[in-house]
Amino acid sequence: MVRFTVHRLVRAIITLVMVSLLTFVLLQLAPGNFADLSAITSGATMTAQGQRDEVMSSFTARYGDQVPAWQQYLIFMKGAVTWDMGPSYKYPSLTVEGIIAGAFPVSATIAVLAVALALLVAVPIGVLAARRRNGWLDNLLMFLVTIGNSVPNYLMGAFLLIILVGRLNLLPSGGWDGPLNMVMPVIALAIGPMAVLARYVRSAVIETLREEYVTTAIAKGGPGRTIMVRHVLRNSLIPVVTVVGPIVASLMAGTVFIETMFRIPGLGQYFTGAATSRDMPLLMGTTLFFAALLVITNVVVDVSYGILDPRTRMERRPA
């Protein structure tokens, strides 16, 4: 187990270094630099090219005067490892690590709540559908779930905004001041995972129902509900847990549409903004953070899966 965990961690670190290199190289390849883009988006296009180059070099100056790109990369990476990445180009008064520390809790809350809501709905639906397999209820539930999955989250968000706020005036339209602000973004983000999870739960339960020990328990005439909860549900949830991890992780990276629509100070806006404005430190910082999140989640899922599932544990023992 220890050896396995160490191995996975080493692989994770290599992965992160590769991701950072790839991001940096792609950013160097992308046309336009931060100074050019700011000049254009703010209408200062009458600035001469020479002046914009001057401005740009004053941004990169913190990485040393006229340093080659690879050296900028190394200096940034050193900062990333020591959690000191310096100010963002676009938000000059904020540091990259400060931005991440401020925005990540927001994205994480929305993500966790969205997945929690998704599970809350998906598990009963999945179990019910599995028990009534191929019956009309199963078909109806899966139909509804598929529809839910067919609506992109930004469309869902727009619907919610127009109906719940525009028509009914039930909620504040956006912002980040209290729990009410979370209602619409959480619902909008939960719809997609809800559909995926319901399908998972359904198939997992069907699989488990076929297992011998469940069939035995049923044959013994135990009460239906106890069997369902004690044997079926518990065993079915193991594969479900493994998909929940990556879903939460990817939602935690923030979703730019939902964040801008509901004015939430999450990571997605920073990441997208950094990419479009070529804000190197912020883009590198957010990309690496996001990658680390996914990679770590994967390691945790892998390792905990090994601990959780007795079958995999047994299979591994001889090795």
Partner 1 sequence: MTTPEMEATIDDNPVPESVAEAPGGGQQGQWRLIWRRFTMNKLALVSLVFIVLLILAAILAPLIATHDPLYLDVSKSLLRPGHENHLLGTDVLGRDVFSRLIFGLRTALIVGFVAELAALAFAILIGLVAGYVGGRPEQLLMGFTDVMYAFPGYLFAVILVTVMGRSVLAVILAIAIASWVGQARLVRAQTLTLKGRDFIEAAQAMGAKGPRVALRYILPNAMGPILVATSFGIPGAIATEAGLSLLGLGVQPPTPSWGSMLTEGIAYTQVAPHLMLAPAILFALTLLAFNWVGDGIREAFDTTGRAQ
Partner 2 sequence: MSTRRQVLQWGGLAGGVSLVAGCGFSGNKPNGTGGDDGGGGSSTLTIEGPVLPTLDPQVISNGMWMVNRGLIEGMLMQTDDGTDVQPASAESWDVSDDGRVYTFHLREANWSDGSPVTADDFMFAYERLLEPKSSGAGVTLGANSYVSSLGIKNALQFQQGIVEDWAEVGVKAPDEKTIEITLETPNQGFLMGMTHASMCPLPKKVLEEHEAEWELPENIITNGPFTVEATQTNVSMTLVKNPEYWDADNVDLDQINYRMNDGTATPTLVPFENGEVDIMSVGDAAMLLRFQNEPELQGKLHSAKPGSIYYLALLHSKNETLSDIRIRQALSLAMGRDTAAKSVPLVEPTTSLVPQSVAGWDESVTNPEDIDKAKQLLADAGYPDGKGLPTITILNGGNPSPMITTIMSNWETNLGIKVANDAVESGVYVQKRSALNDANYIGFYFGSFAAELNWSKWVGSLWSPTFTKPFSLSAKDYQEYLDLQKSDLKPAELTKQLNEIADERCSDEVKQFAELTDKASKTVDPDEATEAFKIAAKAREDCFIFLPIAQGSYHFAVNERVTGFHPRPTGDQYYYKTLGVK
Q: Which residues bind partner 1 (CB under 8 A)?
A: 4, 7, 11, 14-16, 18-19, 22-23, 26, 29-31, 139, 142, 146-147, 149-152, 154-155, 158, 162, 166, 196, 199-200, 203-204, 206-207, 210, 239, 242-243, 246, 253, 256-257, 271-272, 275-276, 283, 287, 290-292, 294-295, 301-302, 305-306, 309, 312, 315-316, 319
Measured distance CA(302)–CA(11) in Å, rounded: 13
Binders of partner 2 in range 99-128 (CB under 8 A) = 99, 101-102, 105-106, 108-109, 112-113, 116
Region for residue 169 given its phi and psi (left: phi exceeds 0; alpha: psi -120 to 50; beta: otherwise) = left
Residue 151 contacts which entry, partner 1, partner 2, none (Cβ below 5-8 A, type-dependent): partner 1
CB proximity list for 132: less than 8 A, separation 6 or greater: 138
Structure tokens at 200: 């998972």
x/- map, 133-162, partner 2, by CB under 8 A: ---------------------x--xx--xx
Does 68 interact with partner 2 (rule: CB under 8 A)?
no
The Cα 316–Cα 1 span in angstroms is: 9
Both tokens of 66, joined, read 């006229």
- The DSSP code for 270 is H
Identify residues 253-312 at the interface with partner 2 (CB under 8 A).
256-257, 260-261, 263-265, 269-270, 273, 276, 278
Distance set, CA 225 to CA 213, 228, 232, 233 (Å): 16, 5, 10, 10
What is the C-alpha separation between 39 and 48, in angstroms, rounded?
Answer: 10
Q: Is 238 in the site for partner 2 (CB under 8 A)?
A: no
Our CB check for partner 1 shows the closer of 11 and 234 to be 11
